[in-house]
């Protein structure tokens, strides 16, 4: 009698991130990882206008040994991109230039960052890494188009409020930055590698590492 | 100073190790080819003194291979090259010993010349001091106009100076005859221990050179970084395969902890975290990379070096 009256133990509600993932109903575990990282970026690191992209995997029929090294791997690789509230990475030479010219990080317009969500135990090779960097320019363009469609005037925002001296300095800086992008003196392409621990006791921590293409000297932290 | 050794430089292959015994070759390779190697020579009497090591210099197989591929060095089997020692003619032996002795004489002459110069300088200084003291004494005598005080003033330093001068003179007397006469007695020749044995032995012919050293799969990345001007050293002490320095390790801190992977070799994500964390902890980047082509897909290692791609990791701090 008593047992019947007692209510069956209710399972606690799923966490926000689990709900977020189940809601989307992904067919690939990689995309679920991507959703978790997106949630983390948006809510813990307060990134804005996060968008996603995906590098499609290759069909299984090709012999892996004789494959072209430029071909992407079998598994799909999800990509994310968004605007962090503060700059995540500044190249040491760029920092020097900014110091010499009295430019502060707050003066600069926000910079879109790109993220590769991964999880512990997932297959990862140099081929994956190369595929990500080969795809970045395309994704960058996509993101720019997205930004323009959402807010066509966002790029000009704040420019009027600056005094002319500072505006000139900033113009010089952006010129220099464009040149540095071509010569790669302030580092080549870069993205963030997000790593999620999903094993037993995975606590939802996401570790972020900056990955550069090529040899880029370290920051003197 | 900038000694240019005869190329190719013979690298001694001794029981699986690539060694260099000539200091000229070692400095030349470091200066011109950014190859540092590791000094492994210790003192036979105090082998536990291993903070400052000397010749020979051990090269990694990668370093030896790179030099051979560049045509700067060749590999010589030391044991075989010394077979000729038994057949050395008595005449050659004597000539070699005479040669060593004349080298020793040359060294001792240089040394005594240097001593002589130092002595002259010291004497000059002493004389100047003496003259100054005298002038001072005379000046003070003139000022005081009492004859007893200056006498005391000069009498104190003079015996001292005389003694010093005498000491030098005595030394001078003992060592001046050899410098004066052109023939130095053989006892005064410095003993020379040559580090290499190619003057008595003929330089090994190119037909006897061993083939290029076998290298680990990480060679393409090694050669790639070397071609970009990095100095590379073994990375065991720092938990990686190589350390990459942007210039001579005596002048620069290293930039990267380097680990090489094959193109389709699985990388544990945790290794990336560990490496990135380790690198950031010591203000370095963690660099991974490898050749896009396997060794069986190309004709030579050089083709693989051109297809290397590398990525550097740093902690993002978020």
Q: pLDDT digits over A152-170, tens only?
A: 665 554 555 667 888 888 8
Contact check, Cβ <8 Å, B316/A215: no
Dihedral (CA of A118, A120, A124, A130) sign: positive
Query: Quick check: B310 pLDDT over 90?
Result: yes
Point out the residue among A89, A209, A218 whose CB comes nearest to the CB of B284: A218
Task: Tell me the C-alpha distance between B28 and B74, whole Å.
Answer: 15
Cβ–Cβ < 8 Å for A76, A28: yes
Query: Quick check: B185 pLDDT over 70?
Result: no
Please give the pLDDT value at position A154: 53
Q: What CATH number does domain B216-312 carry, 3.40.50.720, 3.40.50.300, 3.40.1350.10, 3.30.70.1900?
A: 3.40.1350.10
Residues A56-75: what's their mean pLDDT? 70
For A44, the closest chain B residue by CA position comes to: B318
Residues B48-76: what's their mean pLDDT? 89
Point out the residue among A127, A209, A210 whose CB comes nearest to the CB of B263: A127
User: Which range has the worst mean pLDDT, A64-78, B43-57, B141-155, B273-287?
Assistant: B141-155
Domain residue spans of chain B = 1-88+201-214, 90-188, 216-312
For B313, the closest chain A residue by CA position comes to: A211
Task: Tell me the C-alpha distance between B51 and B206, whole Å.
Answer: 37
Task: Tell me the C-alpha distance between B198 and B210, whole Å.
Answer: 17
Cβ–Cβ < 8 Å for A74, A127: no
Supply the mean pLDDT for chain B. 82
Residues A186-201: what's their mean pLDDT? 83
For B266, the closest chain A residue by CA position comes to: A125
> Is B253 tagged catalytic?
yes
Strand partners, B287: B258, B312
Please give the pLDDT value at position B2: 65
Contact check, Cβ <8 Å, A209/B290: no
pLDDT for B82-109, tens place per residue? 877 777 777 888 888 888 888 889 888 9
Dihedral (CA of B258, B50, B52, B27) sign: negative
Do B1-88+201-214 and B216-312 share a fold?
Answer: no
CATH no. of B1-88+201-214:
3.40.1170.20
Please give the pLDDT value at position B170: 45
Structure token digits, residue B70: 């560049």
Chain B residues within 8 A of A199 when measuring between CB atoms = none
| Residue bearing tokens 């044991």 | B79
> Is B132 tagged catalytic?
no
Query: Quick check: A56 pLDDT over 80?
Result: yes
Query: Quick check: B187 pLDDT over 90?
Result: no
Please give the pLDDT value at position A182: 85
Q: Where are the alpha helices (DSSP H) in chain B?
A: 23-33, 61-70, 78-81, 90-144, 148-155, 157-180, 219-227, 269-281, 301-305
Residues A69-85: what's their mean pLDDT? 87
| 3-state SS class at A211 | strand
| Residue bearing tokens 């066509």 | A152
User: A-B interface: how many C-beta pairs under 8 angstroms?
Assistant: 114
Point out the residue among A119, A192, A218 whose CB comes nearest to the CB of B283: A218
Q: Which of B82, B125, B129, B253 is catalytic?
A: B253
Chain B residues within 8 A of A214 when measuring between CB atoms = 310-312
For B228, the closest chain A residue by CA position comes to: A215
pLDDT for A4-25, tens place per residue? 566 778 888 877 777 777 777 6
Query: Quick check: B181 pLDDT over 50?
Result: no
Mutate to test the interface with B, among A33, A133, A218 (most CBs of B within 10 A): A218
Query: Quick check: B276 pLDDT over 70?
Result: yes
Please give the pLDDT value at position A201: 57
> Is B245 tagged catalytic?
yes
Point out the residue among B293, B312, B318 whose CB comes nearest to the CB of A208: B318
Chain B residues within 8 A of A212 when measuring between CB atoms = 285, 311-314
Pairing of strands A77-83, A113-119: antiparallel
Cβ–Cβ < 8 Å for B272, A209: yes
B222 vs B167 pLDDT, higher one: B222
| Residue bearing tokens 């200056």 | B150
How far B62 CA sits from the closest chain A CA (Å)? 20
**Chain A residues whose C-beta sits inside 8 Å of any chain B C-beta:** 45, 64-65, 69-70, 84, 88-89, 118-127, 129-130, 133, 192-193, 195, 207-221
Please give the pLDDT value at position B28: 92
ipTM of the complex: 0.84
Please give the pLDDT value at position B146: 54
User: Which range has the worst mean pLDDT, A49-63, B236-250, B301-315?
Assistant: A49-63
User: Which range has the worst mean pLDDT, A98-102, A104-108, B47-51, B280-284?
Assistant: B47-51
Identify the band that residue B174 occupies on the pLDDT scale cut at 50, 70 and 90.
Answer: very low
Please give the pLDDT value at position A153: 62
Half-sphere exposure of B144 (CA within 13 A, CB side): 13
Query: Quick check: B168 pLDDT over 70?
Result: no
- The residues, any chain, with a CB within 8 Å of residue A99's CB and separated by 6 or more, are none
pTM of the shown model = 0.77
Please give the pLDDT value at position A64: 52
Please give the pLDDT value at position B175: 42
Residues B123-152: what's their mean pLDDT? 76
Dihedral (CA of A176, A181, A187, A189) sign: positive
Share of chain B above pLDDT 90, in %: 38
Identify the band that residue B293 occupies on the pLDDT scale cut at 50, 70 and 90.
Answer: confident
How far B234 CA sits from the closest chain A CA (Å)? 18
Please give the pLDDT value at position B4: 79
Please give the pLDDT value at position B150: 45
| Residue bearing tokens 């007695």 | B185
Please give the pLDDT value at position B176: 41
Cα distances (Å, whole numbers) of residue B34 to B26, B37, B232: 10, 9, 8
Contact check, Cβ <8 Å, B262/A217: no
Identify the band that residue B186 occupies on the pLDDT scale cut at 50, 70 and 90.
Answer: very low
Mutate to test the interface with B, among A30, A132, A215 (most CBs of B within 10 A): A215
Please give the pLDDT value at position A202: 66
Query: Quick check: A97 pLDDT over 50?
Result: yes
A25 vs A116 pLDDT, higher one: A116
Mutate to test the interface with A, among B229, B264, B288 (most CBs of A within 10 A): B264
Euclidean distance between the first and the last CA atom of chain A, given in angstroms as a whole number: 68
Structure token digits, residue A39: 């949630």
Chain B residues within 8 A of A118 when measuring between CB atoms = 269
Domain A27-56+73-89+110-156+184-212 indexed as CATH 3.40.50: no
**Chain B residues whose C-beta sits inside 8 Å of any chain A C-beta:** 225, 228, 230, 244, 246, 255-256, 261-270, 272-273, 276, 279-280, 283-285, 287-290, 292-294, 307, 309-318
Please give the pLDDT value at position B260: 94
């Amino acid at each position: 009698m008593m047992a019947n009256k007692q209510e069956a133990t209710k399972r606690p509600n799923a966490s926000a991130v689990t709900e977020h993932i189940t809601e989307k109903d992904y067919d690939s575990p990689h995309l679920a990882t991507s959703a978790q990282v997106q949630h983390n970026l948006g809510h813990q690191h307060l990134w804005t206008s996060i968008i996603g992209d995906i590098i499609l995997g290759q069909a299984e029929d090709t012999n892996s040994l004789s494959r072209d090294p430029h071909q992407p791997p079998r598994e799909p690789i999800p990509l994310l991109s968004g605007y962090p509230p503060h700059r995540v990475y500044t190249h040491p030479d760029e920092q020097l230039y900014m110091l010499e010219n009295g430019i502060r990080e707050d003066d600069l317009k926000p910079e879109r960052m790109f993220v590769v969500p991964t999880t512990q135990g997932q297959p990862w090779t140099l081929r994956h890494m190369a595929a990500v960097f080969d795809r970045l320019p395309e994704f960058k363009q996509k993101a720019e188009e997205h930004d323009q469609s959402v807010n066509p005037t966002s790029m000009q925002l704040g420019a009027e409020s600056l005094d002319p001296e500072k505006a000139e300095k900033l113009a010089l800086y952006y010129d220099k930055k464009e040149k540095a992008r071509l010569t790669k003196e302030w580092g080549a392409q870069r993205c963030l590698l997000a790593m999620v621990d999903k094993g037993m006791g995975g606590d939802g921590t996401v570790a972020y590492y900056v990955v550069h293409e090529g040899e880029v000297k370290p920051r003197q932290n | 100073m900038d000694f240019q050794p005869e190329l190719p430089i013979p690298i001694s292959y001794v029981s699986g190790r690539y060694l260099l015994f000539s200091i000229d070759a070692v400095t030349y390779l470091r200066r011109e080819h950014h190859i540092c190697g590791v000094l492994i020579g210790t003192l036979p009497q105090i082998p536990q003194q291993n903070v400052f090591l000397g010749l020979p210099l051990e090269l990694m197989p990668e370093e030896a291979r790179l030099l051979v591929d560049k045509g700067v060095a060749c590999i010589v089997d030391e044991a075989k090259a010394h077979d000729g020692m038994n057949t050395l003619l008595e005449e050659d032996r004597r000539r070699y010993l005479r040669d060593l002795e004349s080298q020793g004489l040359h060294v001792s002459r240089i040394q005594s010349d240097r001593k002589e110069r130092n002595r002259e300088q010291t004497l000059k200084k002493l004389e100047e001091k003496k003259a100054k003291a005298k002038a001072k004494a005379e000046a003070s005598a003139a000022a005081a106009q009492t004859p007893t005080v200056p006498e005391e003033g000069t009498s104190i330093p003079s015996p001292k100076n005389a003694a010093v001068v005498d000491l030098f003179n005595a030394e001078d007397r003992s060592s001046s005859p050899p410098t004066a006469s052109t023939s130095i007695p053989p006892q005064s020749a410095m003993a020379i221990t040559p580090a290499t044995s190619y003057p008595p032995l003929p330089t090994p012919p190119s037909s006897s050179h061993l083939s290029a050293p076998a290298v680990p799969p990480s060679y393409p990345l090694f050669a790639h970084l070397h071609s970009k001007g990095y100095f590379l050293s073994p990375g065991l002490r720092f938990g990686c395969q190589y350390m990459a320095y942007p210039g001579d390790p005596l002048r620069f801190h290293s930039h990267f902890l380097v680990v090489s992977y094959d193109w389709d070799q699985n990388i544990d994500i945790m290794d990336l975290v560990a490496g990135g964390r380790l690198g950031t902890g010591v203000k370095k980047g963690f660099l991974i990379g490898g050749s896009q082509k396997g060794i069986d897909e190309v004709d030579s290692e050089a083709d693989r070096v051109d297809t290397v791609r590398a990525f550097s990791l740093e902690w993002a701090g978020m």
